[in-house]
Amino acid sequence: ELCKGINGLDKVILRESRGSSAEVYLYGGHVTSWKNDHGEELLFLSSKAIFKPPKAIRGGIPICFPQFGGLGTLDQHGFARNRTWTIEDDPPPFPTNTLSKAFVDLILKPSEEDMKSWPHSFEYRLRVALGPGGDLMLTSRIRNTNSEGKPFSFTFAYHTYFSVSDISEVRVEGLETLDYLDNLRNKERFTEQGDALTFESEVDKIYLSTPTKIAIIDHEKKRTFVVRKDGLPDAVVWNPWDKKAKAMADFGDDEYKYMLCVEAAAIEKPITLKPGEEWKGRVELSAVPSSYCSGQ
């Protein structure tokens, strides 16, 4: 169902028969809402989010492509999150997601302007799907459509903002003992201690070569988010905390308490595609009552 969202921007609403739903803005190919079958919002979206190009929407799931971060002349986190994507009615078949009836297929191709900052032709196909149990699945397929034999490389992240009831009561499992690059300390490499992650100050880390499954446990809500990823070896964990929150115009001063970004990503080793090659990166998000997960 295609309709108008904030500021008249086009959005697609997906509804699954048991009641879960999701909203996807064509601007950014950006998921801004994911609700379970009780109508509870599972993603964080800032009350100050600016739904106006060229600003990326603060919250939901921005897509970082063709780069994660702010290297060189390319925009911070690339340009995919602030371009308007197109609905593609009949994309080449996806090998997965066949069970889902609630999905939308979007496509992004570079404009002439984009080719100036990143001179590579590509087709980026994104499928956003709701599974029968309300799981949210994002599948990205990026193809090098350069006819002149030129390969290209990129880094990538699904910059997912999870909604949590109180950041100081949240625990992340699946990243302990791993190496990470600390964005707050010059991207230096460190090794995480043996315990599940908890949060009491700003965090901005890129965990390397992580397991395919990461759990975000919200004790107060008695809810666990499970992130399953494929083709995306790394995982970013980000919370701006109070000082950075105040410095961001599109983020409320206290909102850092109610969000945590855990981002399935490919950063340390950029993906390289030869002409005609396609890369696939997939994430599956589920939200379950915590008691179901005890002992995992």
Which residues form the catalytic set? 159, 263
Question: Judged by CB under 6 A, does residue 30 bind ligand BG6?
Answer: no
Which residue shows structure tokens 């993603």?
A: 43
E strands in 213-258: 213-218, 223-230, 234-239
Point out the residue whose Cβ comes nearest to ligand BG6: 238
Smallest CA-to-CA distance from 225 within 272, 153, 285, 295 is with: 285
Residue 125: φ, ψ to 5°: -105, 130
40-69 positions binding ligand BG6, by CB under 6 A? 56
Query: Binding-site residue total for ligand BG6 (CB under 6 A)?
Result: 10
Q: Between residues 103 and 154, which has the closer beta carbon with respect to ligand BG6?
A: 154
Choosing from 236, 259, 267, 285, the residue that interacts with ligand BG6 (CB under 6 A) is 236
- To ligand BG6, the closest distance from the beta carbon of 211 in angstroms equals 20
- To ligand BG6, the closest distance from the beta carbon of 250 in angstroms equals 8
Choosing from 30, 77, 83, 257, the residue that interacts with ligand BG6 (CB under 6 A) is 77
- To ligand BG6, the closest distance from the beta carbon of 30 in angstroms equals 12
Question: Judged by CB under 6 A, does residue 182 bind ligand BG6?
Answer: no
E strands in 111-178: 122-130, 136-144, 152-158, 161-163, 170-173
Question: Judged by CB under 6 A, does residue 83 bind ligand BG6?
Answer: no
Choosing from 47, 76, 153, 209, the residue that interacts with ligand BG6 (CB under 6 A) is 76
Choosing from 159, 223, 229, 257, the residue that interacts with ligand BG6 (CB under 6 A) is 159
What does DSSP say about strands 188-191 and 203-207: parallel, antiparallel, or unpaired? unpaired
Do residues 271 and 153 touch, judged by C-beta distance below 8 A? yes
- To ligand BG6, the closest distance from the beta carbon of 244 in angstroms equals 7
Classified as helix, coil or strand, 182 is strand
Question: Judged by CB under 6 A, does residue 204 bind ligand BG6?
Answer: yes
Choosing from 154, 199, 238, 279, the residue that interacts with ligand BG6 (CB under 6 A) is 238
Token pair of 239, please? 């919370």
- To ligand BG6, the closest distance from the beta carbon of 154 in angstroms equals 16
Do residues 162 and 43 touch, judged by C-beta distance below 8 A? yes
Interatomic CA distance for residues 242 and 41, integer angstroms: 23
Interatomic CA distance for residues 9 and 166, integer angstroms: 31
Interatomic CA distance for residues 31 and 245, integer angstroms: 22
- To ligand BG6, the closest distance from the beta carbon of 65 in angstroms equals 13
Q: Between residues 78 and 131, which has the closer beta carbon with respect to ligand BG6?
A: 78
66 preceded by cis ω (within 30°)? yes
Question: Judged by CB under 6 A, does residue 225 bind ligand BG6?
Answer: no
In this structure, the number of other CB atoms found within 10 A of the CB of residue 276 comes to 11
Question: Judged by CB under 6 A, does residue 105 bind ligand BG6?
Answer: no
252-281 positions binding ligand BG6, by CB under 6 A? 261, 263
| Dihedral sign, Cα of residue 231, residue 94, residue 16, residue 52 | positive
- Please report, as ranges, the residues that interact with ligand BG6 according to CB under 6 A: 56, 76-77, 159, 183, 204, 236, 238, 261, 263
